[in-house]
Each structure stands twice: as C-alpha cells, then as structure tokens.
Structure 1
Amino acid sequence: MSSKPLGAFDVAIVGTGLSQSILAAALSKSGYKVLHLDPNQYYGSYHASLTLDELVMFSENYTPQQSSHPRYSEIQYDFPQTSEPSSELSKMSRHFSISLSPSLIPSKGAMIDSLIGSGVSRYGGFNLLQGIGMYVEEGETGYFRPVPASKEDIFKDKSMSRVEKLKLMKFLRYIVSDEGKLEPRDEITIKELISGDFGLPPFMASAVIYALAFSSSGNESSAAALSRIQHYMLSSGRYGNSPFLVGHYGGLGEVAQGFCRASAVYGGVYILGRQMESINFTEKGSPSSRYRICVNDVPDILEARTIVFPSSGIASVSSILSGLKPTVTEQETRLARCIAILDFQIVFEPANQPPADTFTIVFPPHMVGRHEKAVVALVTGEGTLSCPSGYYISYLVTEVEEDGVNRTAETILRPYLSSLLSKATTDASRQSPKEPLFELFYIEMSPTQSKFQPPPVQGAYLIDDSSPSVASFTECADHCAREAERVFWEVVKFVESDSGTETQERIAAPKAFWPISHLGDGSEAEGSEGF
C-alpha cells in the first residue's frame, strides 16, 4: 500500500444510511471535503431500496455471526406460489424497488425542509398516501375500516353519529390549540387521556391511538403521542388530503441516494463495495491526518480531520479501530418485519370507491394474531414506481416484547399477512386462498445507545440511524434529518476551531444548514419545492 495519501478530507462518513447521506450533502454543499464510505455495493445502508434479486442475495448472504451486534436475524424467505422464482418474476427483478426500512414522510418537518433546502426533491418523486385503514373485529372475522384523514372526511363519514363526530372534532381542536401544546400530560397514557378526558368511543379511541398517533400501545405517554398527532395534523393539506408522502422507487433508500448525488455534485468522494481494513486515530502530526483509513483494493491512504460513524453500526467496525474505544449497550429494540410481493390487489375502501394504490392498514394490539403490540402494514403499488403494473409490495412491522424474544418474525406476523391476503380482490380465474409471489420475514435489532469511551475523542462523532419503535414508521425520516443537522453543527464547530484550518479553501463557516446554492441547481428558487 502506498504511503502517499489520496488527499486530506475534512470529514469521513461511514455508511450511506439516510442520516449519513443528508449529513454528507450538507457538509459538501457548505464547502467541506467529504469522504463517504460504505462496504455495501448499494446506497442507503439499513434504509436501502433493493431489487428482488438483490433482496434474495441479501437474505442468503447476511450472516449475523460475523458481528457481535448484528442488525438483522432470523431471515427467512420463500416463493409460496412456485417454491422458486418463476422466469417471469426473475425477468422483472429490476422493476422492483423493495425497501429495508419502509416509512412514510410527513408533509411538514425536518425531512421536507432538507429535501427542499438541498434541492434533492428534484432528484426523485413522491406520492400522497391514499388512505389509512384500521382492522375492526366483527364476530370471528373482521374488516378494514377507513380512518378519516381530514375534517371533511369526518363529516362525510356516515358510520359515525353526529355526537361522535362532535367529540372527535373537540379532541382534534384541543390537539392543535395552545392548550394541547402546552399540556403534554406525561403523567397519563394516551389511552387514559382519550377515553377518560374526551370520552371517545372504542373505534374512535383506537383510531386516534394507532392510526393517527401510530402508537404501538395505548400505554404510551400521552406527551409523545400528542406531539405526533399535532405534527401530522399540521402536515395534512400541504400537498393534498393526506399528511404523508411515500417516496418513489422504494422510499428512503432512493431519498438517501439523492442526497449522495447532491454531495457528489459538490465534490464528495464515494467508495462503495470495499471493506475498511483499519481506521487509525492519532493525536500526533497534522490535524488533517488525525484519522488514517485503509480500504481494501484502494492503494492510497485516506486521511480525515474528523470521522462520523452510525451509532447502530459502530460495533461492526470496532475490531478495526485503533485509538478509539466504542461501547455499545446490550439493550436492543427488536422489530419483526415482513415483506411480501403480491400479484393481486388488497381492498379496504368502500365498494363505491376505486381501490387505493398506496395505503396503510393498522392492526391494534391483541387482534388477529393476538400480538401485544400494534402491527402496521404499508401496501405500495405501481403509483410509487416500486413495482410493475398489477403487482404490489406489502410491508408489515411490529415491536417484539422482551418476553417474545424466542418467537420468530414469521410466527408473529403470519396471521396479519393472512388477514391482508383475505381482503384481496376477487378473481374467478384464481384459486383461493391467494398467496404471495415472494415473502420475507426477519427481525431487525437496533442498539439504543452507543458512545466512545473514554470521552472526549477528538473529531469522532456518532450519528443515530436506529429504528426505535413502530412510531419510526412515520418518524424515521424526520429523525434522520434532525440527526444530520445535529452532527453537522458539531463537525463544523470542531473543524473551524481545529488547528491547521489555514489549508481550507472555504471563505467562511456556514451560517445555515442548507446555504443558498451558487452552482445553478435551482435549490434557492423560492416556492419551487419540487413535489
């Protein structure tokens, strides 16, 4: 390996997850030299969007034994209709964009601000979520009942009495009022607040808790749940009659790749598909060579003034770190996930309305599979450009209780997938029951906290890319954008105060997370949001 460095970077960022990708774009656009590394051959890391062939390869090749803190476990996949991929499905593999971390993006929030401020909103497309439904038990069976998304929907809903509508409107007015904002009510749960203080009937209470707040349990603090409801209500109406957007081509993975493109436009250097052999930290010599990184098949030494690691992935590189001592908590949040490819449509809208292309179904706790946490399903069709015409991708996710560690993702989620399939469109030419073309079950695990020991470590930062709960289904995108901005200012503060900054070519430190562009990408154009 050559002893000559490829170049001195201001910051090296490990992993191309959504948080890291936003950070890379912001730093590059502010004039900092960014090196972005990812051992995977695709962008997005844990938020990646994969083709069907790539997803099958990921399922076969991922080995949790290689890490003391693996992100995934209990990966099982199958082709129920054919036992193996059909030739027709194989030919269409590249037409599927399947997300490892499916999420909805609120129409107002940190992520939308970053998409607009960076100009990345022009690199991809977004659709409005067309509806939210909730499973309602009726005898031994059940059905999917649409949840009103606006004041207009509430008053059009013929299933609610006038008294029920007035109670619901009273609650929603409280949410957006100063009283609702100033009284977080930490001392009571969201279920106690809604059922007690406002007296909402069972369906409406469940709809608020699980389909508006996206709580995994009614025992969640009312403060956190109310904060999310406020956020989503303020998001409704910005781009249409829904508070949520769904990204094209798999969602957050494509968004992450868009931010990486933006970083590259402003000089960011990318190395993907190469394993890092060593990361050496030293306080001797020039600050610009504080971190020396050796990458497989890259003959030059890579040097950086600062370095950023993903908090949930720090354990996977701890063995190659020299001079740094990261510690990772053993406590983990576990999410059971399922991905299913369907060649038929799921229907939950009333018969007099056309079926939705992209929608969410929420199963409250203790229904269908009797799981103690809520289960959320997202169904995406060709409108999101994530699959060919006539095909759909269904995602299911739920939290796994500590006493359920020994249960597999398939054991937990199979009943809910079956419930979805039972609401498929009828087709006399097909046999019942309908089965997916492809299904994948797996457990996702995220360390809740990581840190360097002993602190402080000069120029080393951790950025949170975890998926802490079912609420991350709607909060993940904004969380990643906020994390990127937090670490952005920490890196800027350190680099600008570091010795040796005379070698930098910047005129002045940035005054905004997304400074106005001067490269003609149009990101400064007022009102041109790109949606």
Structure 2
Amino acid sequence: MDEDYDVIVLGTGLTECILSGLLSVEGKKVLHIDRQDHYGGESASLNLTQLYAKFKPSKKPDPKLGRDRDWCVDLIPKFLMSKGELTNILVHTDVTRYIEFKQIFGSYVYRSGRIAKVPANEIEAIKSSLMGIFEKRRMKRFLEFMASYKEEDIQTHQGLDLDQNTMDDVFYKFGLETGTKDFIGHSMALYSNDDYLTKPARESFDRIMLYLQSVARYGRSPYIYPLYGLGELPQGFARLSAIYGGTYMLDTPIDEILYDEAGKFTGVKSGNGVARAPIVIGDPTYFPEKVNKTGQKVIRAMCILDHPIPAAPDVDSLQIIIPQSQVDRKNDIYIAFVGSSHNVCAKGYYLAIVSTIIETDRPHIELEPAMKLLGSTVDVLMGISELYEPKSDGTNDNVFISKSYDASSHFETTTDDVKDIYFRVTGQPLVLKKREPIEEEDR
C-alpha cells in the first residue's frame, strides 16, 4: 500500500470502474479500493444471503428459493440501450469479451390500467392498441420526419428549428394526441417527467433517434442486459484495469483521506499503510462532507415472483413504464422484469424491480399501480436511496466525485457522468478508440 499512484479510485460502482478501466488503458497507474467485500458498490448484484442481510436482516430467505449462487439481484435496476453510450464504451474497450448479453423481450407502456407494447416497427405500430387509425397515420408522419431529417438539408426540417422550437411545438406540428405524446416522451425519449415539453426539441430528438436505432439493431426492443446481472459490468471494467496494471483492493477500509495545506488531495490511509496520488475519483459515500443531497430519494422494491407478469404471460423479460400523467404523479414509475433465462434467479422464479422518485411520506403506497400489474409475490424487499451530487467540480482539490444513480431505466445519465468526470480529470473529452486486445497472460 505504501506506494505512489497516478490515480486512486474509491468504490467499485459502475462509474468508478469504467473510469479506472479507461485510465488504466491510457497507461495511468491506478489503485482501486472498496471498503466492501464485493464489486459494484451501489450498483452491485447481490445473492440471496446478501440481499436479505441488506434489506430484511431479521429474516432468512426461504430454502425453497434455491441456492444462493442462483440469484444475482440488481440494487440499481437498469437496462442498456443496444446503441447507447455504455454499449459503445463496452465495445471499444473490448470488455464485451468478459460479459454475455441477452436481449430484453420488449418495452411496454401503461395506459388506462393496462399495458401495451411500445411499437418496435411499422407492423407493430399498425397493430398497436395505443393509437386509433388516424393517430397511427399522424405517428407514421412523425417517424418519417425523424428518419428523413438531415441537419444540412433544410428541406427535411419541415419548418422546424430543433434548437428554437420546443418538443410541444413538434408534437403540435404533427397533430399528435396527448396519449401519443405520453408514450413517445416517456417510453421512447425516456423522460421521467414532462419538463422536456417546454425545452428546445434537440435533446428529445436525439433521445428518440437513439431509441429507434437501438430497436433497429436487434428488433423487438432497444434493450440488452448482461447474463448474471448488472454486477458483471463493474467487474468487467475492473478486469480491464487489472490487465493494464491496475491494482484492486476489496474489503479495505479507508481510515483517513489526506490533503496538503492548500486542501488538495494527496492520498489515503488504511491501517498502517498510505497510498499517495495527486487525484482521487470516488462515489459520494467516501466524501459525505463534499456532496449535497439533491432533494430526491428513490424507492426500489425488489419483488420475487413465481410467475410471469399476468398481462404478458409469454414474456420472460420486459420493461414497463407507467407515465406520471397516468397515475397523477410528477415522476414515472419503472418496472424492470427479468427471469431465470438471464441467470439472475432460480428456475421457475422471476425478478421484478419497481422504482420511482419518492413524492410523498408514504413511498410504498406510491408503488401500488406497479404492484397491481405484478400479481402475487413470493417476497418483496424495499430500499430507499438518497441521491447525492458533488458540491464542486473537483478542480480545486483534485477530488472528483460521481453522482448517485438516478431512477431512470437506462445508463445514459451514468455515461454522461463518466464522460464529465473523465474530461475534468484529464482535460480531454473522452474519445473512444478501438484498442488492440491484450492477452491477460501477457501482463
């Protein structure tokens, strides 16, 4: 431990592991420490014993649920967009060779007490119960506008300026109904509330294009998911870092974080050892005095089921989005549903993880619309997470802190944070270049 490094990373959450992997590939000498005895930090996947110890310490898991190692329950339920930025990072760093992915069957949206599949192509759109026949034609015109839009060809803009016109203006142009706006904004652009409607349309346009391109990659849905759970992702990047000389220390408490007289980071102390570096990257739990509460809390309910979702009995994996307007809320409710085919639970069981931003002092009641869709449950384990963000950008003290994982159903906000921290640490934007694979035994 008594050694000098280029960067010290505290916590093995996904954000921290991606950064340590990227910096190691670039030749930085990285020391990565976690006080916990497993990878993943706030974004870990837990076995049954760990899960019950965390959320129901007074209760032991039912023996009929099977073996501990058959379960990998995500603490932060999210899916990957197949053309999203995290997928790009995985491909460009070659971490994909450590992880196997499976497609999520479909994305569904809640409307008037029922769920319907978000159309993945024109044929599904024509059959969809989400729109009437005239609305389908308007939706088709909207999607044709999206597909033919070229920035340099003003003829394709149909009189719209994406940097000036709001998304509401765009919807009005195509005469789309409130219900259609709802599922485009929440199930395709993946916003958790309606604030986007009054903002310039550019970001919404880009988000919808990402959704459509991700669907086009494999069909059926835009989402993929790693076998054995999301905890595989930080482990994959940790492995990448190790191949390039990164040092990992799990189950290592940090006794003191060291600063010089100017308040700049100089190292960490653990036991009798001191590790020195000019820069530290860490999650909010390591720097409570340097982060603020965002004012938002997320509730997540991990539901163990012994049956598929009743409204989609033939589907082994899906996402359901309950738009806030459908249940008189300010924020959407998300359901991530996976089964034993994804190697995250024992055969015959399923996991449904429900999450939303808390709006009242009775958060479990807020999840009721989602719980009704699940039917009977074998057990439900609930957790509430406070969301934190760094007070400063880290350039004054060389302490670069990640944001908490939000309630969104995908990793695009996480990769935004990765790119933001990378830029502040290195002074360069993150440019993804395909690397030449290195054989692990070479190092």
TM superposition score category, shorter chain reference: 0.7 to 0.9
1:491 to 2:431 alignment: no
Q: 1:478 aligns with which of 406, 412, 416?
A: 412
Equivalent residue runs for 1:371-386 within 5 Å: 371-386=329-344
Q: 2:74 corresponds to which residue?
A: 99
AA aligned to 2:351 is I
Alignment of 1:272-311 (within 5 A): 272-282=250-260, 291-296=266-271, 299-310=272-283
Of residues 379-388 and 173-182 in structure 1, the stretch that sits farther from structure 2 once superposed is 173-182
Aligned counterpart, 1:69:
none
Check the 8 A contact 1:339/1:396 in 2, yes or no: yes
Q: 2:177 aligns with which of 182, 192, 201?
A: 201
Contact 1:216 1:399 in 2 (8 A): no
Q: What's the counterpart of residue 431 of structure 1? A: none
Paired residue secondary structure (1:308): strand
CA contact (8 A) 1:194 1:205 kept: no
Decide whether aligned partners of structure 1 residues 366 and 515 sit closer, same or farther in structure 2, where only a CA change above 3 A counts.
closer
1:39 maps to 35
* Equivalence for 2:136: 165
Query: Which residue is equivalent to 1:11?
Result: 7
Q: Displacement of 1:384 after TM fit? A: 1.5
SS of the residue 2:252 aligns to: coil
Alpha carbons of structure 1 residues 214 and 155: separation in structure 2 relative to 1, 3 Å: same
RMSD: 3.1
Is structure 2 residue 110 aligned with structure 1 residue 135?
Answer: yes
**How far 1:480 sits from its partner (Å)?**
2.9
Alignment of 1:264-413 (within 5 A): 264-282=242-260, 291-296=266-271, 299-310=272-283, 312-316=284-288, 318=289, 326=290, 328-349=291-312, 355-365=314-324, 367=326, 370-401=328-359, 404=360, 406-408=361-363, 410-413=364-367
CA distance in 1, matches of 2:338, 2:430: 39
Match of 1:447 among 361, 364, 388: 388
- Output the CA distance in 1 between the equivalents of 2:192 and 2:25: 38
Residue aligning to 1:465: 403
Aligned length: 430
TM-score (norm 2): 0.87
Q: Distance in 2 between matches of 1:118 and 1:393?
A: 30
Judge conservation of contact 2:389–2:402 (CA < 8 Å) in 1.
no
Aligned-pair distance for 1:181? Answer: 12
Task: Write the deviation string for residues 244-263 of structure 1: whole angstroms up to 9, x where unpaired.
Answer: 21222222x21111101111
Contact 1:26 1:514 in 2 (8 A): no
Asked if structure 2 preserves the Cα contact closer than 8 Å seen for 1:20 and 1:463, the reply is no
> What does residue 52 of structure 1 align with?
48
Q: Gaps spanning 5+ residues in structure 2: where? A: 151-156
For each residue in 1:29-78, what CA deviation from the matched residue of structure 2 results, as whole angstroms up to 9, or x when unmatched?
222111001111111111111112111112257xxxxxxxxxxxxxxx98
Give the corresponding residue for 1:225: 204
1:291-326 deviation line (CA, Å, top 9, x unaligned) = 232114xx432122321122x33543x4xxxxxxx3
- Once residues 385 and 241 of structure 1 are traced to their aligned partners in structure 2, the CA distance between those partners, rounded to angstroms, is 21
Task: Assess if the C-alpha contact under 8 Å between 1:348 and 1:355 holds in 2.
Answer: no
- Give the AA of the match of 1:473: S
- Whether the 8 Å CA contact 2:390–2:401 is kept in 1: the answer is no
1:499 is matched with none
- Shift of residue 412, structure 1, vs aligned partner: 1.4
CA shift in 2, pair 1:153/1:334, >3 Å: same
| Alpha-carbon shift at residue 145 of structure 1 (Å) | 1.8
From the superposition, tell whether residues 109 and 158 of structure 1 become closer, same or farther in structure 2 (CA, over 3 Å). Answer: closer
From 68, 93, 98, the counterpart of 1:118:
93
- With over 3 angstroms needed to count, the CA separation of the structure-2 counterparts of 1:240 and 1:136, relative to structure 1, is closer
Opposite residue 285 of structure 2, the aligned amino acid is: G
| Percent identity of paired positions between Structure 1 and Structure 2 | 26
Match in the other structure for 1:184: 162
Pick the aligned partner of 1:109 from 72, 75, 84: 84
CA distance in 2, matches of 1:392, 1:205: 32
Instruction: Give the direction of change, closer, same or farther, for the CA distance of 1:88–1:371 in structure 2 (3 Å limit).
Output: same
One-letter code aligned to 2:279: T
Change (3 A) 1:400 1:226: farther
For 1:462, give the aligned amino acid: F
Paired residue secondary structure (1:331): strand
CA distance in 1, matches of 2:401, 2:347: 38
Q: Partners of 1:121 and 1:45 in 2: how far apart?
A: 21
3-state secondary structure, aligned to 2:311:
coil
User: Secondary structure in 2 aligned to 1:133?
Assistant: strand
Q: Secondary structure at the match of 2:367?
A: helix
Structure 2: distance between partners of 1:49 and 1:479? 20
Candidates 185, 192, 204, aligned match of 1:216: 192
Q: Secondary structure at the match of 2:346?
A: coil
The separation in 2 between residues aligned to 1:376 and 1:490, in whole angstroms, is 32
Provide the rounded CA distance (Å) in 1 between the counterparts of 2:190 and 2:385.
Answer: 19
CA offset at residue 200 of structure 1?
Answer: 2.3
Paired residue type of 2:50: E
Change (3 A) 1:281 1:449: closer
In 2 relative to 1, CA 355–186 (structure 1 residues): closer, same or farther, beyond 3 Å?
farther
Judged with a 3 Å threshold, the aligned counterparts in structure 2 of structure 1 residues 274 and 158 are, in CA distance, closer, same or farther, namely closer
Q: Answer yes or no: is the 8 Å Cα contact 1:464–1:480 preserved in 2.
A: no
Moved more, 6-15 or 179-188: 179-188
